[in-house]
């Protein structure tokens, strides 16, 4: 491809972008221009702040301090960068390679254009000017030796963007299948949440704990001034490529140039390998290479097993047959929905945090506070499930038509909806509750009372969720947690229902509060009082929930057409 051809392709891309802005919604074009201007202003402010910080704030900082500053900058950038990966993998390429395969042009140059265009994003615009300004400020305050920071920073950016582009292309190839695409988005979202909790996990596990102070022998030189780095972090600086930037900056501040030179060469080498792999996989994808599912050998015929009942044909003891069948069908649907996996991400992270607390060191809490912490764990379990409990039909979308045509009692449909959430929310909630009880050494009375509170809370939220789901249903976009455009009155009602969640959860804190009051007044021990009151509250909620199924079932039957219209209209 010569220069004229490349300019033609770039002009065509610019013309298409301009047409999208001018012929689309004027408000979107105005917001695009406004955000662009704000991004440029923020980038300029970051550059000025970086120069002042390097020239004044870090002029006399010790090498370990400078290393920690760059570690914090790199960590914050990588966290924001990976959070944007969920959005980036859903964007199309700037120039579609499939439309250029029949033209006598160099696809490698178009690939490089796509690579550069795909990284004109807000995290890089905010990070790069500030980092360059910081490097310039350090050169001004510490000398020309810090000029080696510029190739080290360029290698770091090249390495991160190259492997991100490779990962993005691999995920796009996986997401050709729409069902697999939703699962990929859910997994990436959960990975981002886990990454955000990684420092907390490392902290509670004791990995970031500082080494004990050493006593100096007579005549032994004192260690360099500055913060003491944990041994794990010191070892990670040498072997983790994203940390080579901070390691090189600290070494340059100490007068050692080889870590910076080696880090720069290594970063460019690692980035070049990632870009080469991205180009080969991208070209193979557009040319229909061996990654296509059509060329895979057909799977062997499934073996029919006799004597084993299928999952949807199983029976649940104590339930009517139609309610049991619907509960199993709803549960199978929830386990395959990526939206539910996104909601349960926090319920998966928090057990990991408390597991690290339990296996490393237990937290010391006052004895009077432990019953309230166990009850708080119960409330936290249902916090991420509020959107699902209070909008049970919004995730059905077009599938709600089958429920309208189903000759089943409507109270059995509500019962089945509630039971389908019990294994997911209840299973993770009980695991979380057990880990909290073990990590905090909650007394047996308080742990048993928390179990009763967990069951009563599930019944109370199911009752409230059934009513809100019938009165204020709204459609959820497939593959995300984004609601479709609904009337303002409907969204206001949904907002108020979510806002009242603490009010609904308030009654479960009464038993531990009354138990603490009885023990402080010297009447009765607090543990048995908490357990008895929690058990009585559970019995009352069980009767109330069972009584509510019949009137709520009739309400569902009257509002079926309105719910069907709300959850099936596609207004994305």
What are the structural domain ranges in the chain? Answer: 3-196+203-210+230-293, 321-568
513 pLDDT higher than 70: yes
Residue 535 — very low, low, confident or very high, per pLDDT cuts 50/70/90?
very high
Which of 22-26, 132-136, 354-358, 409-413 has the least mean pLDDT? 354-358
pLDDT(570) > 90: no
Q: Which residue has the higher pLDDT, 131 or 203?
A: 131
| 93 pLDDT tier (thresholds 50, 70, 90) | low
Higher confidence at residue 295 or residue 398? 398
Q: What is the pLDDT of residue 451?
A: 86
Q: Do residues 326 and 408 lie in contact, with contact meaning Cβ atoms separated by under 8 Å?
A: yes
Inter-residue contact 484 to 571 (CB < 8 Å): yes
List pLDDT tens digits, range 100-128.
666 677 777 777 777 777 777 777 888 88
**Phi, psi values for residue 220, rounded to 5°:** -80, 135
The mean pLDDT of the chain is 75
d(CA 486, CA 474): 7
**What's the rounded mean pLDDT across residues 554-559?**
91
Integer Cα distance of 266 and 222 in angstroms: 33
Alpha-carbon span 260 to 70, nearest angstrom:
13
How would residue 295 be classed by pLDDT, with cut points 50, 70 and 90?
very low
Percentage of the residues of the chain whose pLDDT score is greater than 70: 67
pLDDT on residue 554: 92
Asked if pLDDT for residue 208 goes beyond 50, the answer is no
Q: How many CB atoms lie within 10 A of CB 292?
A: 13
551: confidence class by pLDDT, cuts 50, 70, 90: very high
Q: How far apart are the first and last CA of the chain?
A: 40
Greatest CA separation found in the chain? 91
Q: Using N-to-C axis directions, what is the helix angle for 427-440 and 370-383, rounded to 10°?
A: 150
**Bridge partner list, 483:** 476
* Predicted model pTM: 0.57
Distance of alpha carbon 343 from alpha carbon 183, whole angstroms: 13
- Per-residue model confidence (pLDDT) at position 191: 65
* Angstrom distance (rounded) from CA 494 to CA 508: 23
Least confident residue range of 44-58, 214-228, 313-327, 504-518: 214-228
Q: Residue 291: pLDDT above 50?
A: no
329, pLDDT greater than 70: yes
pLDDT number for residue 293: 43
Residue, of 61 and 211, whose pLDDT is higher? 61
- 8 Å CB contact between 525 and 440: no
Taking the CA atoms of 250, 254, 259 and 265 in sequence, report the sign of the dihedral they define: positive
CA-nearest of 395, 413, 414 to 334 is 395
Helix axes 427-440, 444-471, angle to 10 degrees: 150
pLDDT digits (tens, 9 = 90+) for 430-488: 777 777 777 778 888 888 888 888 889 889 888 988 998 888 888 876 656 666 666 66
Q: What is the mean pLDDT of residues 383-395?
A: 80
Q: In this predicted structure, what is the pLDDT of residue 373?
A: 79
DSSP 522-533: TSS-HHHHHHHH
So what's the pLDDT on residue 173? 64
């Amino acid at each position: 491809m010569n220069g004229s051809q490349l300019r033609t392709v770039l002009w065509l891309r610019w013309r298409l972008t301009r047409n999208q802005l001018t012929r689309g919604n004027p408000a979107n074009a105005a917001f695009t221009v406004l955000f662009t201007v704000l991004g440029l202003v923020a980038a300029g402010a970051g550059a000025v702040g970086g120069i002042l910080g390097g020239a004044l704030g870090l002029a006399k900082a010790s090498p370990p301090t400078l290393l920690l500053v760059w570690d914090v900058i790199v960590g914050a950038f990588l966290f924001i960068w990976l959070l944007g990966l969920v959005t980036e993998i859903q964007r199309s390429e700037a120039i579609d390679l499939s439309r250029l395969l029949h033209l006598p042009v160099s696809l490698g140059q178009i690939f490089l254009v796509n690579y550069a265009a795909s990284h004109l994003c807000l995290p890089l615009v905010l990070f790069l000017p500030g980092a360059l300004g910081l490097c310039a400020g350090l050169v001004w305050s510490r000398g020309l030796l810090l000029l080696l920071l510029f190739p080290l920073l360029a290698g770091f950016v090249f390495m991160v963007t190259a492997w991100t582009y490779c990962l993005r292309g691999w995920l796009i190839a996986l997401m050709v299948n729409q069902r697999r695409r939703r699962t990929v988005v859910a997994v990436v979202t959960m990975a981002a949440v886990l990454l955000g909790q990684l420092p907390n996990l490392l902290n509670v596990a004791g990995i970031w704990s500082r080494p004990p102070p050493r006593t100096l022998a007579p005549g032994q030189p004192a260690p360099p001034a500055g913060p003491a780095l944990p041994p794990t972090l010191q070892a990670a600086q040498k072997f983790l490529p994203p940390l080579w930037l901070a390691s090189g900056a600290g070494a340059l501040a100490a007068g050692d140039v080889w870590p910076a030179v080696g880090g720069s060469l290594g970063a460019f080498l690692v980035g070049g390998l990632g870009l080469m792999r991205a180009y080969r996989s991208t070209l193979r994808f557009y040319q229909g290479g061996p990654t296509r599912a059509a060329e895979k050998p057909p799977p062997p015929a499934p073996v029919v097993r006799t004597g084993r009942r299928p999952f949807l044909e199983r029976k649940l003891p104590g339930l009517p047959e139609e309610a049991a069948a619907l509960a199993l069908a709803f549960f199978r649907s929830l386990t395959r929905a990526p939206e539910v996996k996104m909601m349960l991400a926090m319920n998966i992270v928090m057990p990991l945090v408390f597991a690290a607390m339990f296996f490393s060191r237990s937290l010391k809490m006052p004895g009077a506070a432990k019953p309230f912490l166990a009850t708080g764990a119960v409330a936290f379990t249902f916090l991420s499930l509020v959107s699902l409990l209070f909008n049970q039909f919004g995730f059905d979308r077009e599938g709600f038509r089958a429920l309208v045509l189903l000759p089943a009692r409507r109270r059995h449909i509500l019962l089945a909806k509630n039971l389908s959430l019990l294994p997911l929310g209840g299973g993770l909630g009980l695991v979380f509750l057990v880990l909290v009880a073990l990590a905090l050494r909650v007394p047996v009375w308080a742990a048993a009372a928390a179990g009763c509170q967990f069951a009563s809370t599930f019944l109370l939220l199911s009752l409230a969720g059934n009513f809100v789901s019938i009165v204020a249903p709204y459609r959820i976009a497939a593959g995300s947690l984004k609601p479709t455009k609904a009337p303002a009155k409907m969204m206001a009602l949904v907002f108020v229902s979510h806002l009242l969640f603490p009010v609904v959860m308030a009654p479960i804190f009464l038993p531990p509060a009354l138990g603490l009051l009885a023990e402080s007044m010297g009447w009765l021990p607090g543990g048995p009082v908490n357990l008895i009151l929690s058990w009585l509250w559970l019995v009352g909620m069980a009767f109330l929930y069972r009584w509510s199924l019949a009137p709520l079932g009739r309400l569902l039957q009257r509002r079926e057409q309105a719910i069907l219209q709300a959850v099936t209209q596609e207004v994305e």
